[in-house]
Amino acid sequence: MAERRFRNLERLIQQANQTSSRKPDSVQMLAEVIRVITADGSDPYLILGVLIEGAVHTVARHIPRERHTETIAELGQLLAERLKAHGLG
């Protein structure tokens, strides 16, 4: 009887994992929206401005004040590294 309950529990866990793996999280959705918007011919300068404004908002509103300096430095470093990785820096 216990084995059967464990099998049922395992089946429920598998179903939950499959369902959650099919549902994209908000970060994945944001990345996909950015890809779609940039692919449809939108103004790239406007898009970059919005992304920068989003980064500033995120730091200002969601990163603890005591970590601002460190986070801003890392953000700049990450941008430089990503640009270089794409042959742009």
Same domain, 33 and 52: no
Kindly state the helix (H) or strand (E) to which residue 69 belongs, with its residue range.
helix 68-85
Domain boundaries, position 59: 43-89
Same domain, 54 and 73: yes
Secondary structure of residue 73 in the 3-state scheme: helix
Write the DSSP assignment of 32-79 as a string of letters: HHHHHHHHTT--HHHHHHHHHHHHHHHHHHHS-GGGHHHHHHHHHHHH
Instruction: Determine the straight-line distance between the first and last CA of the chain, rounded to whole angstroms.
Output: 64
Per-residue model confidence as pLDDT tens digits over 31-62? 889 989 999 889 999 999 999 999 999 999 99
Q: What percent of the chain has pLDDT over 70?
A: 83
Tell me which residue has tokens 């429920």.
12
User: How many angstroms separate the CA atoms of 74 and 51, rounded?
Assistant: 16
Structural domains counted in the chain: 2
